[in-house]
Amino acid sequence: MKNRAANISVHAWESDGILLERYAYTAGSVEPLPKHSHEDYQFGLSVDCQGEYYYRGAYHAIPPGSLSVIHSGEVHSPSDRTYLPEPAHFEMMHVSPKWLHIVSAEMAEKPVSLPFFATVCLIDSELNRLFLALQAATNQHVSTLEREITLWGFLSYLIRNHALNHPCVPPLKSAYAAIMVARDYLHADYARDVSLEALAAIAGLSRFHFCRAFRKQLGVSPSAYQTQLRIAQAKKLLVQGLSIATVSTMTGFYDQSHFGWHFKRQVGVTPGAYISSISAKQQ
């Protein structure tokens, strides 16, 4: 019935100038939002519903699966429709300009202006994948390193591929010694919840170039490498007879569920199945 108001549920996460939101609407009547502006950049992914924005003096259709971009400080309003015939889901991200400024400057290795996005609608499957990976990283209990690398991956790809004034990224320089210093730190203290900023500082590189150099040198991201170290040590501890709960804590995972998910992804079986296989061989 069109008189029935849509139920709206929101899941939100915020940290240091970044707000991520997940909206779920049931079918029903909705109240349009007024025109407004905000300091943050706003990015939105319409998962399964046709969207629309009034922006820069015109109405723009936002097809499902496309990422909308609202520039910092610009007046806009979403669709003025008053009824949703079917359920709708949206993923939103509000980012302080400081983050786009920092990422752009590290990409260029010099001071630059804020990135400018000429269009409100971006159709890019890889950009969507990175955006959803960032949403997933904040809705799960992942390491600080994984969450921050996911953020930098999304922002650097967005700026490099879609900003009208995207910075020119210098060729990647050899940083073997610097990466080995960071690698040795991860080996020595694999359970620590180290930040990307701290690890890049240990290597003496910017966060952007550290991520590039680490992946080129070792084949995986710093967060993936950290997880591999943790799982390798966890296997040894499980063989020694320690409990799954104890091992998950000792190796730096948030909880047993988080540990179990990563363990199965890396090893192919759950920690419980791994222990059972050890017990069977010892009988």
Please write the tens of the pLDDT for every residue from 124-153.
999 999 999 999 888 777 899 999 999 999
Same topology between domain 8-162 and domain 225-282: no
Q: Which residue has the tokens 């591929």?
A: 161
Separation between Cα atoms, residue 12 and residue 149, nearest integer Å = 20
d(CA 11, CA 23): 7
Which residue do the tokens 């040795």 mark?
184
Describe the chain by its helix, strand, coil percentages, rounded to 5. Answer: 45, 20, 35
Q: Where are the domains of the chain?
A: 8-162, 176-219, 225-282
Q: Which of 130, 137, 115, 24 is nearest to 71 (CA)?
A: 115
Looking at 1.10.3720.10, 3.40.50.2300, 1.10.10.60, 3.30.70.260, the CATH number of the domain 225-282 comes to: 1.10.10.60
Neighbour count for residue 78 (Cβ, 10 Å): 21
Query: Domain 8-162's class?
Result: mainly beta
Give the pLDDT of residue 158: 98
Residue 279 in this model has a pLDDT that exceeds 70: no
pTM: 0.91
Mean pLDDT computed over 77-105: 94
Average pLDDT, rounded, for the chain: 93
pLDDT, residue 125, reads 95
Strand 121-122 and strand 67-70: the pairing is: antiparallel
Q: Are 122 and 162 in contact (CB under 8 A)?
A: yes
At residue 282, the pLDDT reads 64
Helix ranges, 34-165 (H): 97-108, 125-139, 144-162
In the block, residue with structure tokens 């222990």: 275
Mean pLDDT confidence for 161-185: 95
The confidence score (pLDDT) of residue 106 equals 96
CATH of domain 176-219: 1.10.10
Q: Cα–Cα distance between 223 and 242 in angstroms, integer?
A: 25
